[in-house]
Amino acid sequence: MIKPIIVDHEDGLAQMSLEWIKDRYSNKLSVDNGASRNALSASFDPNTVYSFIRTVANPEAIEILPKYVGKREGFSADWDVRKRVAKDSPEFVPGAHDDCNGLWFSPDVMNLYLKVLECMTKEKIGKENYTNFRMIQTSGIHNNDIPQETISSPVIHAIQCINKDSLVKERCEEQRTVGEFRKIAENMNSDQVYELLKAIEVPHNYRMGEINTLRKLKIEPLVVEDRAWQCSGRTLRNAVDFLVPFTISVENSKESHSWNEDY
C-alpha cells in the first residue's frame, strides 16, 4: 500500500498527497483535510492578519420560538403565527402539516441566516477575505434529529485583512473588516437581510414563520461572541499544520464484503 505523504507549503497550508489506493478489501480511500484547513486553504495568505470570531444561535431565539405555532393556506400564502396553547399538537415538518406547524430554531433556520451573512460579508469586504467553518461536524444525522441543546450551531468566521505597508494601516484595515462583519451579524433582522431571506425561501417559504416571528419580536437570531483571536498568517499556518489532523476514510466499495462462516 502506498503511504500518504504530507506536503508542506511555504506560502500555504500543508496538504496530504494521496493517490486513489485500496485497502486489503479493495475499498477506495480518501482524505479529509479538516473543516478549518479546507475553509482557509482557498485564499490563504501568510502575509496578512486574520481575525477569528465565533457566532452562535441566540439563546433567546431558541427559547422563544417553540412557544409559537403557525399555519398557512398554501406555499405562497403568508404564515399566520400565534402563541401556542395547551391543546395544540404541533408538527415540525413544514409542508407536511401546515395547520399547526411548530416553530423552532432548526439547523435549517440557522443555515438560512448563515447563508445571507456569508453573502453580505463577502460582498462588503471581498469574497477572498472571508470564510467560515462549523465547530460541530455531523455525519448521518437528520436535521430534525439533532438534540435541542446542540442547535446553538457555533460557527467560526475567519476575516482576512488586506496587507498594508505599515502596521498602523494594517490595524485600521483589520478593524474596518471586522467592524463590517459585526455590523451585519448583529443586525440580521434588517430590511436588507429580510429581503434576501425571502428570496431564498421562494417558492416554498418553509421557514418564513420562524423568520417573521423573530423579526416581529425584534429578537436577533445570532449572537456574536466577545471572544476573538487575531494572528498573523504565518502563525495561523503553524497552528493549522500542527494541530489540525488529516483523516483517511473509506470512500466507497464496488463490492459488498461479509464474513463467510461456511467452511
Q: Kindly report the number of other CB atoms within 10 A of residue 97's CB atom.
A: 14
Q: Indicate whether 197 belongs to any domain.
A: yes
Mean pLDDT of 37-48: 93
pLDDT of residue 233: 95
Amino acid 82: pLDDT: 95
Greater model confidence, 96 or 158:
158
φ/ψ region of 238 (left if φ > 0, alpha if ψ in -120 to 50, else beta) reads alpha
The pLDDT value recorded for residue 167 is 44
- Sequence-distant (≥ 6) Cβ neighbours of residue 133 within 8 angstroms: 35, 36, 38, 39, 155, 156, 158
Q: Is residue 106 part of a domain?
A: yes
In sequence order, what are the beta bridge partners of 56?
223
Contact by Cβ (8 Å): 159, 125: yes
How many domains are there within the chain?
A: 1
pLDDT in tens, 89-106: 888 776 666 788 899 998
Is 39 domain-assigned?
no
| CB of 34 closer than 8 Å to CB of 239 | no
For residue 133, the cross-strand partners are 156
Is residue 205 included in any domain, yes or no?
A: yes
Alpha helices per DSSP H over the chain:
35-41, 59-64, 107-125, 167-185, 191-201, 208-217, 233-243
Distances (CA, A) of 78 to 33, 38, 210: 43, 39, 12
- Tell me how crowded residue 138 is: count the other CB atoms within 10 A of its CB: 12
Q: Grid coordinates standing for 186?
A: 448583529
Q: Mutual orientation of helices 191-201 and 107-125 as an angle, nearest 10°? A: 120
Backbone CA torsion sign across 22, 23, 25, 31: negative
Q: What percent of the chain has pLDDT over 90?
A: 57
Higher-confidence residue of 67 and 137: namely 67
- Banded model confidence at residue 144, pLDDT cuts 50, 70, 90: low
Check pLDDT > 90 for residue 55.
Answer: yes
Task: Provide the CA 1 distance to its chain's centre, in angstroms.
Answer: 36
Please give the residue that has the higher pLDDT: either 34 or 175: 34
Give the whole-number percent of the chain exceeding pLDDT 70: 81
In tens, the pLDDT along 181-203 reads 999 999 999 999 999 999 999 99
Q: Say what the pLDDT of residue 262 is.
A: 42
pLDDT attached to residue 257? 40
pLDDT at 90: 87
Can you tell me the mean pLDDT for 126-134?
A: 94
Return the number of other C-beta atoms located less than 10 Å from residue 62's C-beta: 19
Report the SS3 class of residue 129: helix
Range of the domain at 77: 49-238
112 is a domain residue? yes
C-alpha cell read off for 110:
440557522
- Name which of 24-33, 46-55, 142-151, 186-195 the model is least confident about: 142-151
Q: Is residue 33 part of a domain?
A: no
Specify the DSSP class assigned to residue 254.
Answer: S
Assigned domain for 113 exists: yes
Q: Confidence band (pLDDT; 50, 70, 90) for 261?
A: very low
247 found inside a domain:
no
In this structure, of 71-80, 148-157, 237-246, 253-262, the range with the lowest mean pLDDT score is 253-262
